[in-house]
């Protein structure tokens, strides 16, 4: 399959200002996603979609293509990621280089590995599914969540029929971790969904699923990356 990785990075950020270029474990945050995409065996091209001059410079410094500047209407805090990706797909088609699938990599989940990317591509290839999305185990199981009625009565959010549900007896539950969204271009255009009917999940552990939205998240990610680097150097 011909796979184009697309790293999306706006210049603005509400939670952590300029987070996409902040130094994380010795590299700008966005550089971690660029490098992992470059190291993946199943990625043919790495493109950054951004509206920001500094992000453009940093992305090119680390070897990614920045062939266009993202339009202002797709660069606001309320801009939908699906519209950003559809813009990239249309641009690739105009260049006569439409791939089989596009891989959305958000810079804010920098702990994914090349093996995660290659595994997702191989899963798509072996199943012919329209999409593969990154998942991680849910911290709070949906069987153990509740809702409160207006009169204060407590009821289970899901009617699972278990009188005393024990965590070890519950079926595995997962959440989207934001680390990767692999979509066939045809499906993305037709459904305008990252998780269309028939999508498969690529399960990743919590330590590779950290999503940076705050300084606390940033510090957790930095420690995990440094621990990973230390482990790689051990005999």
- Domain locations along the chain: 3-137+175-233, 139-172
DSSP letter (8 states) at residue 51:
S
- Quick one: tokens of 95? 């260049």
DSSP letter (8 states) at residue 21:
G
Q: What is the spatial distance between Cα 174 and Cα 221, in angstroms, rounded to a whole number?
A: 20
Taking the alpha carbons at both ends of the chain, their separation in whole angstroms is: 36
CB count, 10 Å around CB of 235? 2
Q: What is the pTM of this model?
A: 0.92
Contact 69, 75 (CB under 8 A): no
- Supply the pLDDT for residue 234: 62
In the chain (235 residues long), the average pLDDT of successive 10-residue segments reads 96 80 94 98 98 96 96 90 96 96 97 98 98 95 89 86 76 95 98 97 96 92 89 70
Strand (E) or helix (H) holding 136: strand 131-137
DSSP letter (8 states) at residue 75:
S
Q: Say which residue the tokens 């539950």 belong to.
A: 173
CATH topology of domain 3-137+175-233: Spore Coat Polysaccharide Biosynthesis Protein SpsA; Chain A (3.90.550)
139 contacts: CB under 8 Å, gap ≥ 6? 206
218 contacts: CB under 8 Å, gap ≥ 6? 16, 19, 22, 24, 212
Q: What is the spatial distance between Cα 112 and Cα 202, in angstroms, rounded to a whole number?
A: 11
């Amino acid at each position: 399959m011909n796979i184009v990785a697309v790293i999306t990075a706006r210049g603005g950020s509400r939670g952590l200002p300029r987070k996409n270029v902040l130094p994380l474990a010795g590299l700008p945050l966005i550089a971690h996603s660029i490098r992992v995409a470059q190291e993946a065996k199943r990625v043919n091209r790495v493109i950054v979609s951004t509206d920001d001059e500094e992000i453009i410079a940093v992305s090119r410094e680390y070897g990614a293509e920045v062939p266009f500047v993202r339009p202002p209407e797709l660069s606001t805090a309320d801009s939908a990621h699906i519209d950003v990706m559809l813009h990239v797909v249309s641009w690739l088609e105009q260049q006569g280089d439409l791939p089989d699938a596009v891989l959305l990599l958000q810079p804010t989940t920098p702990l994914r590995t090349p093996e995660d990317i290659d595994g997702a591509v191989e899963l798509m290839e072996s199943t012919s599914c329209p999409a593969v999305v990154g998942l991680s185990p849910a911290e709070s199981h949906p069987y153990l969540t509740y809702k409160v009625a207006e009169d204060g009565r407590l009821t289970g959010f899901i009617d699972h029929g278990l009188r005393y549900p024990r965590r070890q007896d519950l079926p595995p539950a997962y959440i989207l971790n934001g680390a990767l969204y692999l979509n066939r271009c045809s499906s993305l255009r037709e459904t305008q969904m990252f998780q269309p009917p028939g999508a498969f999940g690529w399960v990743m552990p919590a330590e590779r699923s950290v999503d940076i939205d705050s300084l606390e998240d940033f510090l957790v990610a930095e420690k995990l990356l440094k621990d990973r680097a230390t482990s790689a150097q051990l005999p």
